[in-house]
Amino acid sequence: MSSRDEILARIRAKAPAPRPLPSVPLFDAGRSASLATFKSSLARMGGKLAEAPADGDLDALVRRLFPDAKVLCSATPEIAGNRPLSSVGKPADLDDVDVGVVRAAFGVAETGSVWLSEAQFGINALGFLSQHLVVLLDPARIVVNLHHAYHQRGFHEARYAVLMTGPSATADIEGILIHGAQGIRSLTVVPVPAPPGA
């Protein structure tokens, strides 16, 4: 018998009497999906929120936020950057990116998370090899909590989906919190309405 069949047969022989599956409420009564709630949740997780520029010049905003950045790679057409994703051959080539820019599909107010998949990243490694990440988020696309988030279709369609909540972090040595463990050192969300059709 194959390992597969042997394991399944043993489970069927041993499994305890069936128990029912409960239905899960959304737990959203009285909870806010506002940008303000999102912002304070994000701050708790070490992320930042930068006001959108009045003149709409996002390129200038990113340069102002990261004046020393040499390589700026954007996966959204709303920001030009100087390293077109189309010129990147393999994921490891993103190793020298100082600032990556993406547009999130939606955000989660409860946790301050942004939802990203291969459709938003272009190359997934952009979200992890970059030193810093700037995320554009439509304030109208913030859901109340994780229950609402997990009802989004994207989880059924994306090959890879991630809820990013602030920068990469570790507290593995004496509980001292460090931002910038293996991935991004900072995460900045900019609330900007999505362009039509995006």
Partner 1 sequence: MKRIDHAEASSHFIKAKDHIDFHDKRLWDLRTKRDRESESLPEWQELRTLASQIKEHTLTHLADYLEEFERNAQSNGAIVHWARDAAEHNQLVFDLLRTRGAKTLVKAKSMLTEECEMREFLGPRGIEVIETDLGERIQQLDNEPPSHIVVPAVHKLRTDVAAVFARTLGTDPANSDVHYLAESQRQTTRPHFLAAGAGMIGANFAVAETGTIVVCTNEGNADLSMNLPSLQIASIGIEKMIPRIEHLGVFIRMLSRNALGSPITQITSHFRAPRPGTEMHIILVDNGRSERLGMADFWYSLKCIRCGACMNTCPVYRRSGGLSYGATYSGPIGVIIDPTFNLRKYAALPFASTLNGSCSNVCPVRINIHEQIYKWRQVISERGQLPMVKKNGMKIAGKILSSPRLYRAAIGAAGTGIEFLPDFMMYNRMNAWGKQREVPATPPMTFRQWYLANRTKKGKKK
Give the footprint of partner 1 on residues 92-131 (CB under 8 A).
92, 95, 110-111, 113, 118, 124-125, 127-129
Q: Does residue 6 bind partner 1 (CB under 8 A)? A: yes
Residues 13-32 that bind partner 1 (CB under 8 A): 13-22, 24-25, 27
In the list 68, 156, 196, 197, the residue contacting partner 1 (rule: CB under 8 A) is: 156
The whole-angstrom separation of Cα 56 and Cα 77 is 14
- Give Cα separations from 10 to 1, 7, 13 (angstroms): 12, 5, 5
In the list 70, 170, 193, 195, the residue contacting partner 1 (rule: CB under 8 A) is: 170
Contact 148, 189 (CB under 8 A): no
Residue 172: count of CB within 10 angstroms of its CB: 9
Q: Does residue 37 bind partner 1 (CB under 8 A)? A: no
Residue 186 is which amino acid? S
Q: Does residue 174 bind partner 1 (CB under 8 A)? A: yes
Contact 114, 137 (CB under 8 A): yes
- By C-beta, is 58 or 94 nearer to partner 1? 94
